[in-house]
Chain A
Amino acid sequence: MAHSSRKDAPDLPDFSLLKRIARDQLIYLLEQLPGKKDLFIEADLMSPLDRIANVTTLKEHEVDKLYKVDHKPVYSTSDQLCFLIRPRIQTVKWIADIVNTDKAAGKLRSYKIIFSPQKFYVCEAVLEEQGIYGDVSTDEWAFHLLPLDDDIISLELPEFFRDNFLEGDQRWVTTAGSALHLLHSVYGPFSKVYGIGRCAKMVYESWREQGKEGEKKTAQSEIGTVFLVDRDVDFVTPLCSQVVYEGLVDDIFRIKCGSVEFTPDVTSSEKSVKVMLNSQDKVFGEIRNEHFSNVFGLLSQKARNLQTAYDRRRGMDIKQMKTFVSEELKGLKQEHHLLSLHIGASESMVKRKTKQDFQELLKTEHSLLEGFEIRECISYIEEHINRQVSMIDSLRLLCLLSLTENGLLPKDYRSLKAQYLQSYGTEHLLTFANLRQLGLLVEQQAGETLTVMESKVGKLVNDKTVGKLTDAFSSLAKKSNFRALSKRLVLVPKPMEEYDLRTPRDMAYIFSGAYIPLSCKLIEQVLEREGWTGLEEVTRLLNGNEFVGSAGGGSESGRTTDSRRIILVMFLGGCSYSEISALRFLGKEKGYKFIVVTTAVINGARLLEAMLDNYG
């Protein structure tokens, strides 16, 4: 990054340990089933598994053939089948079908199901219901945390968001609690825990509960502070179009488990190329957090540097040449390869993003954030829907509109919804029902009356009950209060001011200077104040549920100041690459190091796709 960062930032803990723990456990589980076996792997466990143990490792432990769980009949000749799955009912039912088919055919095999990260009672209930509880052995692979990068750890549980926030199913709370427990026991003890959100609170409690059972660790703490945040505290940020390089790559090419597949138009060859996107990639490391408008400049600078490095070989004698070839050339070549890929990707992005319509999309988003020219925005959205530009993008704009405006006027709501249904199909009635339930897209109506009622009731009863009532009311009509929050926390800088994206002055740069992400701003404020004092009005607007907990792991004196400046931020329900970039920026400014733990890396599209009901 172009601006100077503080030099005293502490080093990050080594998270490869987590991988090793997971791998050892998996190997142990595989060894529990001696002999050759076929392994069936749940589709969305494939990539995470790949990061933990490669095929050779699996083969070393007598895995014969590998299959993807595809919910189709199985043609395996092995007499031992092992299933590595998420605890989902459908998958368990599919396994039950396999077992029952085998039984009917008189085929004798042994079956083992390994649930990751844990098994649920429901799954066992299904096994029992299907009458195969005794035929199948089950186990748990407590693979909670996958380090995607030096500072990103993912639980790889995209369903966390929908299950927890939409369906009200809290089954993953303990999982998140266990993940935190693991981090605490390996890198802790934590000294301070801040959090906001109902789920965050439950996760915190679940972790405390688990902590009680374990032993206290006295070793040097590597992570001092923890911040837990629910996704529904801030929906606006992930719904904005991303303009920082890493986020853009995710929006356009979709980053999956830390790696991306660049299509032929990027690679300018026949094939697609899979690239790991992390700090190991030097080129990517330099541009990932940059605003897109800077990326080209940086890339060409890089290209020039590379050329100079290549050029040095002119005028070398034989000996120098030899060392050059043996030591540097490979690195240069690798860098060259990556550079050309990223340049290709940037070109492809430019093609898509500098088009008129993208500019207008951004303009609309910024207007919405500012609360400016709303009618124009609505007609833009209307046109967007009418022209069927993109099912998800239309929805994204609608949600942004609703969130920033505290709901749509009934007239607008109806007309936009009707048009949306005409464009994208009536089945989206269900989508709208979901969005309404989550508070992402609502009609303005009872909201005002509720506030009035709240304040009236508030005068009558004491504070504590008001809190509870507010809770109850807010769950009835979830209000985003974005405008008020934005004013209070100064999330939207004054318009018309020049914003130099090359040397950003605050986190707003990740949205071209138009908006400071709410989630990150909250974190900044709480860390600065070492608590929630002074933020009472903000937390009230966010429906409360904020808390501070001292993790109680030993005395304060035993901590190094370093560990206190290593801050673990856990997003429950996912976070976007833009938010990660913003936190990295914040860290550099203030001399912190952030570690982002998230249930999954999301963006606007993935967030909304989770709201669709997959019919048919």
Chain B
Amino acid sequence: MAFVTASWNPLGEAFYRKIELYEMGWNLREGLRNCQIAAAPYGGPIALLKEPQRSSPSARPQLEIYTSSGSPMASFMWKSGVVKQLGWTISDDLLCVQEDGTVLVYDLFGSFKRHFSMGNELVQSHVLEAKIFHSPYGTGIAVLSGAYRFILATNIEDIKLRRLPEVPGLQGVPSCWTVLSQDRQTKVLLANGSDLYILDNTACTPVSPSGFSSQATNIIQVAGSFSYKYLALFTDSGHVWMGSANLKEKLCEVDTKMRTPPSQMAWCWRPKSQQPSVVIMWEKYLLVVGPCKDTIQYNLDNESVLVPELDSVRIISGTHHELLQEVPAVSEEIFKIASMAPGALLLEAHKEYEKESQKADEYLREIKEQDRLGDAVKQCVEAAGYEHEPETQKMLLRAASFGKCFLSNFRPEQFVCTCRDLRVLNAVRDYTVGIPLTLQQYKQMTVQVLIDRLVYRKLYPLAIEICRYLKIPEYQGVSRVLKHWACCKVQQKEEADEVIARMVSLKLGETAGISYSDIAARAYECGRTELAIKLLEFEPRSGEQVPLLLKMKRSQLALSKAIESGDTDLVYTVVTYLKNEMNRGDFFMTLRNQPIALSLYRQFCKHQEQDTLKDLFNQDDDHQELGNFYVRASYQEGRLDTRMSCLQNAMDEYNKAKNEFNAKATEEEMRLLRFQRRLEEEKGERMVGCSLQDTLHCLLIVGLHKQAEQLYKDFRVPDKRYWWLKLNALAEKEDWEEMEKFSKTKKSPIGYLPFVDVCMKHHNKYEARKYVSKVTPEQKVKAHIAVGDLEGAADAAIERRNEGEISLVLSHCSATTDRTIVDRLNRTRATAGKK
């Protein structure tokens, strides 16, 4: 396999290879000269700010955005201030740090998103230099002000500006500096001549790298590794110091013999690899330096930039895009010339097999004899993952698949996963997409992030394809992509609301985990309220519709949606909102049209705001309810005169409501209260608050017959009621004489049986008997029984020849003592029966 190793260059123990990723699609007349460039890591987009060719004051620079393969994504004239630094955020937004400290944020397609400032002092002192960096907290910015102070923002999504301490003796721009993220702190490392300082929140600490032999020389270039764990320093004597980021541990020191200051320096160190190395670039010259005497040198055709990655360095020039990386150990084992590693043998075996040569068997046997076929397969699979060329990937995977046939119980996961991952990677590495990720980078960034990035690029079909292919749960996968698509769709101003709403609903349908309210919220943010409302119609959960409707000030609609949902809490939320937003009149009017909300609010008012309740009824001219309200109030009132005035109000309201009955009842209640008060004042009898009946009863009991008589007449108490009352009161007092007199005043409207009953209730048989004779014939039997006179009862019953009455008497008779009566009754019954 000569051609695989052709691009390999040895450095110490390892090999390095440079692979061409793309031939750039852009057409840059001047290459990368005269422009600022920012390329995002993880195969991200590239931004170019081209200085105007004619240096006239009216000429403006051009900002262009490309994919990693150089396909244009956006291009526009830069009309804002002087840009000091370009950079990308972790969510693929472009940051442009201006001289005055303002940072402008654009999306991938060059549309302006927002801006923020790195501090007001920069308007005066200006930004001298700026760096954009990534840390676990997000994307940060560090600027060096004209006063030689560093200002830091760790996360641009949540801006907290930090002004780092002054560096003693710093009179000019430091020769080089970088941002480090260590121990959950963001620090700045800077070199001023030969002095090194670390700046953190509180202090500026001078440091010196351990074992640095060329102390006296100036440090002119510094580079932190991708993980901020390591640091490389370049001195004007051409020495490179490589060591840990805290400078306490030295990895190596190399003399490059180059005295000219390099244009860029970057770490190129694959995680887990034993050999640290740094790539240093001069104008036409690239050097790979490691812990050995040798270096690898490449000549560069034209001006380039280095983009450090997790496991490699990308080199972008005006025409090409290349990847420089250490050859992975496993690839080395397989492809190294004359390698006897099992993977290499398996690859050979498979090649022979394809050629239908029996040598295949020999190779296989050799591996099997060492019992290393499993390892061989694993090696081939792993190596396939490191290859960029699909042909090479296939070759290795086929070999692995071939080897697998001779193994039983070989776990297929690694093979299957690698195939899948490679398929996804090949898809995104494609020229048209232009995301040149390595497997290791892909693993680090995760599928979720990759899908996000595709979504940012509006590559929705590909994103969905990948989600489906990898069987990502809908909620995290397809649904999320569709939601982004819809959010993007609603921003297309040229299309009509109806069209968009229909398209969105058609595509999204009932897909699980889609929140139409989120999409509607986006539409609303873009100022398309009508569209938002249309989209909300598709939202099945009313709870989600209501808050947005409120935000859009569609409170009426929100209210009806809330009511539709049947969730009273939701209704109440809207009601409280309305109460604060609207004036009272409108608020009440709105409620009036929504009975459910109204009753809910009434319930609340009953407990919390009695007066509002009154206002509510007033508004509706609901005099009936107002009357009830005042009656209720009167009973909650302790003082008599307030109570009276409440009742007066109630009466007025009832009159307005044309409820004569209630008006009269309240009027009578007032009269009664007045009467009771007078009585209390005159006679000292406490009866305020009693009902008419109870008042009468009290009066009769204490013997105030005259007053009772007066009440009876004044309130036109029915005769029957009055008789019952008086009868009971007299019996209670056991005033039998008065009772007898009373019975004779006129014919009793309630008959005389109650007299009998009442007397018997008070165990006065003697008195009871007096009234038996007065009882009507129909009740005679009952009266006799009541006083215990069975004889009489029997007589009466027989006289009336009433079957039912005879049975009634019989039921009261006992067979032993009332023999004769029983016989008589039975006889009568018999004769009656005959007739």
A-B contact count (CB 8 A): 106
Query: Is residue A501 within 8 Å, beta carbon to beta carbon, of the partner chain?
Result: no
Contact A120 B666 (CB under 8 A): no
Query: Is residue A121 within 8 Å, beta carbon to beta carbon, of the partner chain?
Result: yes
**Which residues from B are CB-within-8-Å of A423?**
691-693, 721
Which residue from chain A places its CB closest to the CB of B786 in the assembled complex?
Answer: A356
Contact stretch, chosen from A6-14, A18-26, A261-269, A383-391: A383-391
Query: Is residue A294 within 8 Å, beta carbon to beta carbon, of the partner chain?
Result: no
Given A205-B566, A386-B721, A387-B724, also A430-B596 (CB < 8 A): no
Cα distance A529–B725 when bound, in Å? 55
Given A387-B724, A433-B628, also A422-B691 (CB < 8 A): yes
Query: Is residue B205 within 8 Å, beta carbon to beta carbon, of the partner chain?
Result: no
**Which residues from B are CB-within-8-Å of A126?**
608
Looking at the complex, which one of B600, B604, B692 makes contact with A89 (CB distance below 8 Å)? B604
Query: Is residue B599 within 8 Å, beta carbon to beta carbon, of the partner chain?
Result: yes
B180 → chain A, closest Cβ, in Å?
A: 40
Looking at the complex, which one of A414, A417, A615 makes contact with B636 (CB distance below 8 Å)? A615
**Which residues from A are CB-within-8-Å of B599?**
167-169
**Which residues from B are CB-within-8-Å of A433?**
624, 628
B599 → chain A, closest Cβ, in Å?
A: 4
**Which residues from B are CB-within-8-Å of A554?**
none
Contact B721 A169 (CB under 8 A): no
Looking at the complex, which one of A125, A171, A209 makes contact with B568 (CB distance below 8 Å)? A171
Cα distance A423–B722 when bound, in Å? 11
Interface size class of A (residues with CB under 8 A): 35 or more
Given A386-B724, A419-B718, A429-B665, also A616-B567 (CB < 8 A): no
Contact B566 A426 (CB under 8 A): no
A429 → chain B, closest Cβ, in Å?
A: 6
Query: Is residue A424 within 8 Å, beta carbon to beta carbon, of the partner chain?
Result: yes
Query: Is residue A98 within 8 Å, beta carbon to beta carbon, of the partner chain?
Result: no
**Which residues from B are CB-within-8-Å of A422?**
691-693, 715, 717, 721
Given A170-B568, A417-B661, also A424-B691 (CB < 8 A): yes
Contact A90 B607 (CB under 8 A): yes
Cα distance A426–B624 when bound, in Å? 16
Cα distance A423–B600 when bound, in Å? 34
Query: Is residue B686 within 8 Å, beta carbon to beta carbon, of the partner chain?
Result: no
Given A386-B720, A417-B661, A616-B635, also A169-B572 (CB < 8 A): no
Contacting residues of chain B (387-427) with chain A, CB-CB under 8 angstroms: none
**Which residues from B are CB-within-8-Å of A387?**
724, 728
Given A125-B576, A168-B595, also A426-B669 (CB < 8 A): yes
Contacting residues of chain A (392-440) with chain B, CB-CB under 8 angstroms: 414, 417-419, 421-427, 429-430, 433
Query: Is residue B631 within 8 Å, beta carbon to beta carbon, of the partner chain?
Result: yes
**Which residues from A are CB-within-8-Å of B666?**
426, 429
Which residue from chain B places its CB closest to the CB of A386 in the assembled complex?
Answer: B721
Cα distance A425–B697 when bound, in Å? 13
Which residue from chain A places its CB closest to the CB of B563 in the assembled complex?
Answer: A170
Contacting residues of chain B (338-355) with chain A, CB-CB under 8 angstroms: none
Query: Is residue B649 within 8 Å, beta carbon to beta carbon, of the partner chain?
Result: no
Query: Is residue A122 within 8 Å, beta carbon to beta carbon, of the partner chain?
Result: yes
Which residue from chain A places its CB closest to the CB of B664 in the assembled complex?
Answer: A418
Which residue from chain B places its CB closest to the CB of A88 in the assembled complex?
Answer: B607
**Which residues from B are CB-within-8-Å of A209?**
566
**Which residues from A are CB-within-8-Å of B665?**
418, 421, 426, 429
**Which residues from B are CB-within-8-Å of A536?**
none
**Which residues from A are CB-within-8-Å of B636?**
615-616
Contact B631 A173 (CB under 8 A): no
Cα distance A388–B697 when bound, in Å? 11
Contact B603 A121 (CB under 8 A): no
Cα distance A613–B631 when bound, in Å? 11
Given A167-B602, A169-B599, A386-B720, also A202-B628 (CB < 8 A): no
Looking at the complex, which one of A89, A382, A417 makes contact with B608 (CB distance below 8 Å)? A89
Query: Is residue B662 within 8 Å, beta carbon to beta carbon, of the partner chain?
Result: yes
Cα distance A122–B628 when bound, in Å? 25
B597 → chain A, closest Cβ, in Å?
A: 10
Among B608, B636, B693: residue with most chain A CB under 10 A:
B693
Can you list, as one digit per residue, whether each of A363-394 has a CB less than 8 Å from chain B (1) or not (0)? 00000000000000000001100111000000
Query: Is residue B800 within 8 Å, beta carbon to beta carbon, of the partner chain?
Result: no
Can you list, as one digit per residue, whether each of A190-214 has a CB less than 8 Å from chain B (1) or not (0)? 0000000000001001100100000
Among A120, A423, A429, A615: residue with most chain B CB under 10 A:
A429
**Which residues from A are CB-within-8-Å of B718?**
386, 419
A430 → chain B, closest Cβ, in Å?
A: 6
**Which residues from B are CB-within-8-Å of A418?**
661, 665
Contact B692 A168 (CB under 8 A): no
Cα distance A615–B608 when bound, in Å? 16
Contact A121 B661 (CB under 8 A): no
Contacting residues of chain B (455-480) with chain A, CB-CB under 8 angstroms: none
Say what secondary structure dominates the interface of chain B: helix
Cα distance A126–B609 when bound, in Å? 12
Contact A121 B569 (CB under 8 A): yes
Can you list, as one digit per residue, whether each of A242-258 has a CB less than 8 Å from chain B (1) or not (0)? 00000000000000000
Contact A167 B691 (CB under 8 A): no
Query: Is residue B789 within 8 Å, beta carbon to beta carbon, of the partner chain?
Result: no
Cα distance A382–B717 when bound, in Å? 13
**Which residues from B are CB-within-8-Å of A135?**
none
Contact A613 B632 (CB under 8 A): yes
Query: Is residue A163 within 8 Å, beta carbon to beta carbon, of the partner chain?
Result: yes
**Which residues from B are CB-within-8-Å of A613?**
632
Query: Is residue B828 within 8 Å, beta carbon to beta carbon, of the partner chain?
Result: no
Cα distance A429–B750 when bound, in Å? 27
Cα distance A430–B666 when bound, in Å? 11
Looking at the complex, which one of A120, A427, A429 makes contact with B572 (CB distance below 8 Å)? A120
Looking at the complex, which one of A125, A206, A414, A427 makes contact with B631 (CB distance below 8 Å)? A427
Contacting residues of chain B (663-689) with chain A, CB-CB under 8 angstroms: 665-666, 668-669, 672
Can you list, as one digit per residue, whether each of A492-517 has a CB less than 8 Å from chain B (1) or not (0)? 00000000000000000000000000
B750 → chain A, closest Cβ, in Å?
A: 8
B726 → chain A, closest Cβ, in Å?
A: 12
**Which residues from A are CB-within-8-Å of B721?**
386, 419, 422-423
Cα distance A545–B573 when bound, in Å? 28
Given A422-B715, A429-B665, also A122-B724 (CB < 8 A): no
Cα distance A174–B717 when bound, in Å? 50
Contact A615 B572 (CB under 8 A): no
B811 → chain A, closest Cβ, in Å?
A: 11
B506 → chain A, closest Cβ, in Å?
A: 23
Cα distance A430–B631 when bound, in Å? 8
Given A89-B607, A423-B691, A427-B635, also A121-B572 (CB < 8 A): yes
Cα distance A386–B718 when bound, in Å? 9
Given A419-B718, A429-B662, also A615-B632 (CB < 8 A): yes
Cα distance A382–B693 when bound, in Å? 14
Contact A388 B693 (CB under 8 A): yes
Looking at the complex, which one of B576, B603, B715, B750 makes contact with A167 (CB distance below 8 Å)? B603
**Which residues from A are CB-within-8-Å of B669?**
426
Cα distance A163–B596 when bound, in Å? 12
Cα distance A208–B692 when bound, in Å? 53
Contact A169 B568 (CB under 8 A): yes
Given A419-B721, A422-B693, A425-B691, also A174-B566 (CB < 8 A): yes
Can you list, as one digit per residue, whether each of B549-586 has a CB less than 8 Å from chain A (1) or not (0)? 00000000000000000111110110010000000000
Can you list, as one digit per residue, whether each of B720-746 has a CB less than 8 Å from chain A (1) or not (0)? 110010001000000000000000000
The contact sample of 16 A-B pairs, CB cut-off 8 A, is A120-B572, A121-B569, A121-B573, A125-B572, A126-B608, A168-B599, A171-B568, A382-B720, A419-B721, A422-B693, A422-B717, A422-B721, A424-B691, A429-B662, A430-B632, A615-B636
Q: Apart from A122-B569, A424-B693, A426-B691, what are 10 other A-B pairs with CB-CB below 8 Å?
A: A120-B572, A170-B600, A173-B568, A383-B720, A423-B692, A423-B693, A426-B672, A430-B632, A615-B632, A616-B636
A-B interface, 10 closest residue pairs, ranked by CB to CB distance from nearest: A615-B635, A168-B599, A426-B669, A425-B691, A121-B569, A171-B568, A89-B607, A386-B721, A422-B692, A423-B693
